[in-house]
Amino acid sequence: MSVSNIKIKPQTVFIGKAQVQIQTITCVADVSSSLNNKYFVFHDSVGAKRYAWFNVATAGTDPAPAGSWTGHEVAISANASGTTIATALTAVLTAVSGFDATSSGTVVTLTATATGFAQQARDINTAFAFKLTQLGMVETEVGCIQGDIEISGFEQSKVGITCHDSGTTVVDEIISGYSQPELTLTFQKTDKQSLQDIFVMYGMSVFTPVGVDQAAVFGYGPANVGGSNPKVPLRLHPIEKDASDKSEDWNFWSAELGLDTLNFSGENVSVVPASFNIYPDSSKPKSIQFFMIGNATLAGY
């Protein structure tokens, strides 16, 4: 009897992939110079603090928020429509280093030119609507995991087929769907940056309050009511393989983080138990839409 194919399989866990951050800004119309001196703030992936402010009919004054913010003036006329304002704002944002911008109607799409997370654009007093449509990220190793990594949820939903001549006896079953796989693990990195990364994956935002010497903060609140949490890729890499050998990697295309408990202790290692709901990626062949084992790059994915 051979035991050569029986192994203990510790894995290195990677979260994310290299992608830029994309967000939308929905503009409202000016009403009798209502936007004069109003502004919102935005950031690039290296943390530069910027704001866009509106100068209506040349009567505006730069609001110059405290805290070393860099201003970008948007000149508009009184009673300008939301579409006109979006066009003017797009021209200004496109000229800002680190960003591309386009507009369609009243909606401006602001796209970072560098990969990685950035604080979301945030309104101060314009009444514009802001939405994150793609979370900026890079692939990051999550560090030491406690205990096992478990993947569950492989059940198939089936409809039983009966026939008149066999009564209630099921003679076959037709697959009607697949359960949603779930990956569970326990994070052990609980320093501030690691907790920030976890909360951002959970749909929370990081923001820097306006004011002198204000520092960035994050936390937990009802930020995504009516929306959905970010979806992130996951990759499991067997530690027995070199980093360049991805032949046995587990690639999860679309995972949504779920949190229930944070455990802190004066006697034991502080941990964050987490689960990831795995969603199908319809751009992939059906047989690998939940996940794929192998080198995704060499497979063309």
Model confidence at 171: pLDDT above 90: yes
Q: Where are the beta strands (DSSP E) in 120-246?
A: 122-123, 129-134, 140-141, 150-152, 156-162, 170-178, 182-187, 206-207, 217-218, 232-238
> Mind listing the pLDDT tens digit for each residue in 261-295?
999 999 999 999 999 999 999 999 999 999 999 99
Q: What 3-state DSSP class applies to 124?
A: coil
Question: Are 152 and 267 in a shared domain?
Answer: yes
Mean pLDDT confidence for 238-262: 96
Question: Are 262 and 145 in a shared domain?
Answer: yes
Question: Are 130 and 147 in a shared domain?
Answer: no
Q: How far apart are CA 224 and CA 212, in angstroms?
A: 29
Q: Is residue 31 part of a domain?
A: yes
Domain count, the chain: 2
> Mind listing the pLDDT tens digit for each residue in 64-112?
999 999 999 999 999 999 999 999 999 999 999 999 999 999 999 999 9
Q: What 3-state DSSP class applies to 165?
A: helix
104: containing domain: 20-134
**Amino acid 2: pLDDT:** 85
Spell out the residues 6+ positions from residue 78 whose beta carbon is closer than 8 angstroms to its own. Answer: 30, 32, 33, 56, 57
Q: How far apart are CA 147 and CA 150, in angstroms?
A: 10
Question: Are 264 and 212 in a shared domain?
Answer: yes
Q: How far apart are CA 138 and CA 169, in angstroms?
A: 54
Question: Are 128 and 146 in a shared domain?
Answer: no
Final residue before a domain boundary, out of 134, 163, 194:
134
Backbone angles phi, psi at 71, to 5 degrees: -95, 150
Instruction: Centre a 10 Å sphere on the Cβ of residue 63 and count the other Cβ atoms it contains.
Output: 17
Question: Are 92 and 153 in a shared domain?
Answer: no
Question: Are 130 and 144 in a shared domain?
Answer: no
Q: Is residue 299 part of a domain?
A: no
pTM assigned to the model: 0.90
**Amino acid 227: pLDDT:** 86
DSSP state of 263: B
> Mind listing the pLDDT tens digit for each residue in 208-237?
999 999 999 999 999 888 888 999 999 999
